[in-house]
Amino acid sequence: MIPLRSTSIVFGLMATIAGGSAAHSATSTDEWRVTVSPYVWATSLDGNITLAGHKAPVDVPFSDAFDQLESVAMGDVEVRKGRWGGYVDYQYAKTAEDVSLLGMPANLGTRTTTVSGGLLYRLIDDPLGGRTAFGDLRSLRVEPIVGARWSKVQADLATPLGATRKGAEWTDLMLGLRVEGDVTDRWTLRAQVDAGGLGDNDRNSVSWQALASYRTPLGDGAVSVNAGYRLLQQNYEQDDFTGQRFDWKVSRHGPVLGLSLTY
């Protein structure tokens, strides 16, 4: 698990560095731009879920991800104008796996819905020389993120002695940072990290992703092929009215592949 206090310290250092840098406009434009990005995230699941007094391990390796996955829907929409931008990212996944609980066979099913959204501000836009295939100056861009992440999780545990279902939903305010650079006229690299629920030991989250994108013109816009790796770590602890705990300490991580349409 990633210590969130350390993450908050990292954010503070990055913000200090960014704040001390001179912002230089290279590619910002006053035109509205909308980017729609459906994607597939082949996630491995690691961690533990505690419900009804039972602690069930979660261990779905990447090689078994599609075998355990029953349904999925994922996508991202981003809107930009000038230095400002905003995005909404939606993820839904339903999984089922066979586990061993106190020596007994059991089945653990999970449903997760995560909606993240935030505002971005292009603090640094440093020219790299040359232009992209779309006429923009190639640049290195740094953007702080302020937003929120809403999560809804549900766990179903079925054993020979009976079945139990627990769930919860919560919202974390989050801070983050995105760094993006035009490597060539068509290739772009992006890294993004954010953390939610800072300072709250009962519910918090960390997310990061690294993507490489290849863009090509399409009509009046552009289409990109995106590939990379993504992680979302969530920690939620709750006592229900019976005094039994519901703990969700699960990391989802794995390769991601998608398309982006910008117009």
pLDDT tens, 141-172? Answer: 999 999 999 999 887 777 666 677 777 888 98
Residue (of 214, 259, 247, 191) closest to 40 by Cα position: 259
Residues 6+ apart with CB under 8 A from 189: 180, 181, 183, 210, 211, 212, 213
Residue 261 has pLDDT above 70, yes or no: yes
Greatest mean pLDDT among 9-13, 122-126, 127-131, 154-158 lies in 122-126
CATH number of the domain located at residue range(s) 4-262 in this protein: 2.40.128
Q: In the chain, what are the domain boundaries? A: 4-262
Residue 120 has pLDDT above 60, yes or no: yes
Residue (of 141, 27, 122, 33) closest to 77 by Cα position: 33
CA–CA separation, 166 and 154 (whole Å)? 6
Cα-Cα end-to-end distance for the chain: 39
Residue (of 136, 216, 215, 209) closest to 179 by Cα position: 209
Average pLDDT for the chain: 81
Question: Helix, strand, or coil here: 14?
Answer: helix
Contact between 110 and 58 (Cβ < 8 Å): yes
Instruction: With cut-offs at 50, 70 and 90, classify the pLDDT of residue 16.
Output: very low
Residue 195's DSSP bridge partners are: 175, 206
Query: Model-level pTM?
Result: 0.79
Residue 91 one-letter amino acid: Q
pLDDT tens for 221-259 read: 889 999 999 999 998 887 755 556 778 888 989 999 999
Q: Which pLDDT value is given to residue 217?
A: 86
pLDDT tens for 70-91 read: 677 899 999 999 999 999 999 9
Contact between 116 and 148 (Cβ < 8 Å): yes
Contact between 190 and 178 (Cβ < 8 Å): yes
Query: What DSSP line would sit under 236-256, residue for residue?
Result: EEEE-TTS-EEEEEEEEEEEE
